[in-house]
Amino acid sequence: MSEKALKRLVRWISESWMMFAFFACFFLLWEWSIDWFEVPKYILNKPSEIITNSAADLPRLMQYTYITGLETVLGFLVAISLAIPIGVAITFSNILRKTLYPFLVSVEMVPKIAFAPLFISWLGFGLLPKVIIVFLVCFFPIVLNAILAFGSLSQELDRFSQITGSSKIKIFLKIRIPFALPQCFVGIKYAAINATVGAAIAEFIGSDQGLGFYIQIVTGNMRPDLAFAGIFLLTLLGLGLFGIVTLVERLMIPWHISQRRG
Amino acid sequence: MTTAIQIQGVSKVFSTDDGPLVAFGPADLDIQEGEFVSLLGPSGCGKSTLLMMLAGLEKPSSGQIFLNQTPVHSPRNDIGVMFQESTLVPWRTVLGNIELQLELRGERSENFREQIDSLLNSVSLKGMEQRMPHELSGGMQQRAALCQALIHQPQTLLLDEPLGKLDAMTRENIRGDLQRLWLDKKPTVVMVTHSIEEAVQMSTRVYLISPRPGKIDKVVDIEMDYPRNLAVKQDQRFIQYLADIHSVFHSYGVL
């Protein structure tokens, strides 16, 4: 390890040890209070029990994590690949801005999760209705931020582009897209945070596999320990997705003020 | 000398809730090739609007503008413009920003290596090519923007208060750079400013614009030799020009 990296590590530890200490205290307190208050096992378990008991059910948990992960990622990717072009189209089309845009804003007000039972009754227990629910949850923040992103080019840059006599397509590629990326990522990150929520709720409503299904079943069986394992894996899924988006963001817009390191 | 810019009966009227508002004009003026002309007036007098009409970025409500003998109907690409706000994009380096102008014009930036080098040299930005805009001071950013506006070697340069946001010392410095570049290539320059001193130091001719509605009221030819460096400010004629222009704006009630 280079000296610089070592220094960075030391600084990181000195800055964040309190956070880790707090986490540790939280779990220790949890562990200890289960015994102290004599909490029954069917209500809540110690963290240590959650770990050992869920290890026994690991194969099923892994399989379900894969399924929920697949639903989440598919819905999320479809949302990005539709929302960005639609956002661009709305920005540059007067007709769409007067028709589709107000429509989308109104639909945004509807809690998308409320559609979940309908989609399940229309499309069954399979993968597709979950992907659609995740898509619905992710689509709106991305499209609304894309409209904001592509519509807010500064007057100076717009005029500068016009003076070059360049084609619209070239200006789009060289000016408008890079200018819009930071705001697009705001929407994409918001969607990434909510994607797993969509998948889990869709599975609660009608499913025969996946982490949402698992949490519901084990809770019915009075196994809060396994429910916590499911919640933990869902959290990891969400964190993983958010982490990947953050990484892609850092690679694509390293120049942006949000990405600069002190 | 040939006429570079002709403005004939040009006015700009904005429609507002309280009826039409004359922002500028009507005005007539001719600018000769290779002149350095300033449009001097208080803020809100429509001088920037006139500049944007010259560029074809805004349409006059009446009248006609000719630039290099052809009428201006739409945005012109045979000019260079420096705007009030920086047009440096934050995702490109200084060099990348200068190349952006060339790329958008369909030029290959490899063919402009020497011009880029000498431009950067002339504004003391040598060695800064790979810096990002946010790593530069405000003055350096405007110098880079000046290079960006000049790299395609336009015969006409329009400057919209390019130094307006800079501190006094940096302004002084960049004025020198700008004057040197102008003397070197002698493009036609139209500069919008609200600094009397800047207008007198830089220009062959200063147009004084009255406030609301903006009208070209007086023309002052600055008959002093170039280069006009800091020492020129001690010159009796320079001081007299400042005083004359001051009294004109005083009579408008602006000063």
Please tell me the number of Cα atoms within 13 Å of A172 on its side-chain side.
8
ipTM surpasses cut 0.85? yes
| Same domain, yes or no: A206 and A161 | yes
Residue A155 lies in a domain: yes
Q: What percent of chain A has pLDDT over 70?
A: 99
Kindly state the tokens that stand for A196. 């797993």
pLDDT beyond 70 at A262? no
Answer yes or no: are the C-beta atoms of A68 and A200 closer than 8 Å: yes
Kindly state the tokens that stand for A228. 């916590």
Distance from CA of B162 to the nearest CA of A (A): 12
Residues of A with CB under 8 A from a CB of B: 154-157, 159-166, 170-171, 174-175, 178-179, 253, 255-257, 260
Mean pLDDT, residues A135-164 taken together: 95
Mean pLDDT, residues A84-108 taken together: 94
In this structure, the strands spanning B215-221 and B205-210 are antiparallel
Residue A146 lies in a domain: yes
Tell me if B134 and A257 make a contact (CB, 8 A cut-off). yes
Q: Report the SS3 class of residue B46.
A: coil
Separation of alpha carbons B86 and B70, rounded Å? 29
Tell me if B55 and A171 make a contact (CB, 8 A cut-off). no
Residue A43 lies in a domain: no
pLDDT at A206: 87
| Same domain, yes or no: A198 and A151 | yes
| Same domain, yes or no: A228 and A150 | yes
Tell me if B104 and A156 make a contact (CB, 8 A cut-off). no
Confidence band for A140, pLDDT divided at 50, 70 and 90: very high
Question: Three-state secondary structure along chain A?
Answer: CCHHHHHHHHHHHHHHHHHHHHHHHHHHHHHHHHHHCCCCCCCCCCHHHHHHHHHHCHHHHHHHHHHHHHHHHHHHHHHHHHHHHHHHHHHHCHHHHHCHHHHHHHHHHCCHHHHHHHHHHHHCCCHHHHHHHHHHHHHHHHHHHHHHHHHCCCHHHHHHHHHCCCCHHHHHHHHHHHHHHHHHHHHHHHHHHHHHHHHHHHHHHCCCCCHHHHHHHHHHCCCHHHHHHHHHHHHHHHHHHHHHHHHHHHHHCCCCHHHCCC
Tell me if B75 and A165 make a contact (CB, 8 A cut-off). yes
Task: Give the residue carrying structure tokens 């964190």.
Answer: A239
| Same domain, yes or no: A57 and A151 | yes
Give this prediction's pTM.
0.87
pLDDT beyond 90 at B173? no
Separation of alpha carbons B232 and B238, rounded Å? 7
Is the sign of the CA dihedral A61, A62, A63, A64 positive or negative?
Answer: positive
Rounded to an integer, what is the distance from CA A260 to the centroid of its chain? 23
CATH of the domain at A214: 1.10.3720.10
pLDDT at B99: 96
Separation of alpha carbons A80 and A182, rounded Å? 14
pLDDT beyond 90 at A57? yes
pLDDT at A1: 63
pLDDT at B241: 94
* pLDDT tens for each residue of B197-229: 999 999 999 999 988 788 888 999 999 998 898
Average pLDDT in chain A: 93
Q: Does B143 touch chain A (CB under 8 A)?
A: no
| Same domain, yes or no: A29 and A63 | no
Residue A44 lies in a domain: no
* pLDDT tens for each residue of A14-43: 989 999 999 999 999 999 999 999 999 999
Tell me if A165 and B55 make a contact (CB, 8 A cut-off). no
* pLDDT tens for each residue of B73-98: 999 999 999 998 889 999 999 999 99
pLDDT at B191: 96
Residue A165 lies in a domain: yes
Separation of alpha carbons A251 and A244, rounded Å? 11
Q: Does B109 touch chain A (CB under 8 A)?
A: no
| Same domain, yes or no: A10 and A103 | no
Tell me if B134 and A260 make a contact (CB, 8 A cut-off). yes
Answer yes or no: are the C-beta atoms of A199 and A212 closer than 8 Å: yes
Q: Interior CA angle at B121 toward B116 and B122, to 5°?
A: 100
Confidence band for A261, pLDDT divided at 50, 70 and 90: low
Total structural domains in chain A?
A: 2
Tell me if B85 and A154 make a contact (CB, 8 A cut-off). yes
| Residue of A156, A165, A255 with shortest CB distance to B90 | A255
pLDDT at A242: 97
pLDDT beyond 70 at B131? yes
**For residue B41, what are the contacts with CB-CB under 8 A and spacing of at least 6?**
B47, B194, B208, B209, B210, B211, B214
Residue A219 lies in a domain: yes
pLDDT at B37: 97
Stated as kind and residue range, the H or E segment containing B99 is: helix B94-104
**Integer CA distances (angstroms), A40 to A36, A37, A43, A148, A225, in order:** 11, 9, 6, 52, 12
* pLDDT tens for each residue of B14-57: 888 888 888 887 899 999 999 999 999 988 788 999 999 999 99
| Residue of A160, A163, A255 with shortest CB distance to B91 | A255
| Same domain, yes or no: A61 and A165 | yes
Separation of alpha carbons B167 and A133, rounded Å? 55
| Residue of B55, B91, B105 with shortest CB distance to A178 | B91
Kindly state the tokens that stand for B162. 């390019």
| Same domain, yes or no: A183 and A219 | yes
Range of the domain at A201: 49-259
Give the residue from chain A lying closest to B149, CA to CA: A160
| Same domain, yes or no: A53 and A34 | no
Mean pLDDT, residues B157-180 taken together: 89
Confidence band for B120, pLDDT divided at 50, 70 and 90: very high
Residue A106 lies in a domain: yes
pLDDT beyond 60 at A55? yes
Task: Determine phi and psi for B45, rounding to 5 degrees.
Answer: -90, 0
| Same domain, yes or no: A24 and A54 | no
pLDDT at B133: 94
pLDDT at A18: 93
pLDDT beyond 70 at A260? yes
Mean pLDDT, residues B97-108 taken together: 95
Which residue in B83, B132, B142 has the most chain A C-beta atoms within 10 A of its own C-beta, making it the best mutation to test that interface?
A: B83
Residue A149 lies in a domain: yes
pLDDT at A129: 94
Q: What percent of chain B has pLDDT over 70?
A: 100
Least confident of A210-214, B42-46, B144-148, B172-176: B42-46
| Same domain, yes or no: A27 and A143 | no
Tell me if A171 and B104 make a contact (CB, 8 A cut-off). yes
| Same domain, yes or no: A21 and A55 | no
In this structure, the strands spanning B19-32 and B3-16 are antiparallel
